Each structure stands twice: as structure tokens, then as C-alpha cells.
């Protein structure tokens, strides 16, 4: 096997391992759990379910964005692991993001009072056909003025023309 082929295989294997590992790590935290339907046209309604750790009440609204999968921000190595991308809140209304709305209403998942589920309905914006992912913006998940954009890359929305 040529060295360049070996490097390509190693890169692909590393990327695949990362894709398998990240959702397992993210499952313990807050994130988007479901998008129904998983295929829609601009103007169609979709239902988005979010759940996980929110901390002590009162629970604040959390914005949800749509972003083309090819342009979605990726986790990056930090502190011996991987960190979610972070942005300033006003960036959520600019490309590559399409702000869908906010999860405003939460209900407790258990007696701890720190885990919750929220559901929102949104209309698919006027975007090109293709595969998209959804991101949950968590202002309190990152220190400083930026917030995390939490994306489960396994969940997606296929936008039809």
C-alpha cells in the first residue's frame, strides 16, 4: 500500500471514530434529539425535540438554527477532548445559520429538576435543496460572551425543492 493511500485510510478511520464518539458524549448533555419529519420542503412545518441537562430553574429559551451539513461548524480538539463550536448570539441570524426559533417551554424529565425536554415547531426557511443539520444554541454552555452551537451530526433534515 502506498503511503498516501495509508494516510487517506487513517484520516477516514479517524473521522469515522469521531462521528461515532461525539454523539455518545453529547447524549449526556443538552441537545436536539429528534426532527420530524426528516424530509421537508421550504414552508413545511417540522417538529424539533430537545432534551437533556438544563440546570436549575428557571429554564431559559434556547434558539435553534438550521445549517447546511457541508457548512456546519465542527467540534475541535481542546483540553484533551473535543469542544463544540461557539458563536456570539447575533451570528445565529447570519450565514451559514438560519434561525428557526426558540424552544421556550420545558418540562422536567425526572425528580432532579435539572433535566428537561422541550418541543418547538418551525417552518423550513427558503433554502436550497440538500442535507441540513440543526443546532441548539446554549448561551450558558461556554464561558464568556459566546455560546455553544450543539449539533448532533447524525440527525438531519433533507430539504426538497
Domain boundaries, the chain: 3-159
pTM across the whole model: 0.80
pLDDT at 22: 41
Distance from chain centroid for Cα 146: 16
With H, G, I as helix, E, B as strand and everything else as coil, classify residue 7.
Answer: helix
- pLDDT tens digits for 59-88? 999 999 999 999 999 999 988 899 899 999
The CATH number of the structural domain formed by 3-159 is 2.60.40.10
Q: For the chain, which ranges sit under pLDDT 50? A: 10, 12-28
Using CA atoms, how far residue 90 sits from 9, 13, 75, 138, in Å, is 39, 36, 20, 13
Residue 151 is given by DSSP the state E
pLDDT at 3: 57
pLDDT at 143: 83
Using CA atoms, how far residue 142 sits from 43, 62, 139, 147, in Å, is 33, 14, 7, 5
Amino acid at each position: 500500500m502506498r503511503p498516501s493511500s495509508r494516510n487517506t485510510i487513517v484520516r477516514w478511520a479517524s473521522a469515522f471514530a469521531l462521528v461515532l464518539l461525539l454523539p455518545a458524549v453529547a447524549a449526556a448533555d443538552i441537545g436536539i434529539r429528534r426532527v420530524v419529519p426528516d424530509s421537508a420542503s421550504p414552508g413545511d412545518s417540522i417538529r424539533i425535540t430537545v432534551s437533556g441537562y438544563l440546570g436549575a430553574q428557571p429554564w431559559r429559551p434556547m434558539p435553534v438554527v438550521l445549517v447546511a451539513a457541508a457548512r456546519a461548524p465542527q467540534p475541535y480538539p481542546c483540553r484533551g477532548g473535543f469542544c463544540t463550536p461557539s458563536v456570539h448570539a447575533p451570528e445565529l441570524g447570519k450565514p451559514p445559520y438560519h434561525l428557526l426559533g426558540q424552544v421556550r417551554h420545558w418540562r422536567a424529565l425526572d425528580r432532579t429538576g435539572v433535566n428537561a425536554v422541550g418541543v418547538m415547531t418551525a417552518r423550513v426557511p427558503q433554502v436550497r435543496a440538500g442535507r441540513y443539520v440543526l443546532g441548539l444554541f446554549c448561551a450558558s454552555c461556554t464561558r464568556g460572551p459566546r455560546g455553544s452551537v450543539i449539533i448532533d451530526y447524525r440527525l438531519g433534515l433533507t430539504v426538497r425543492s
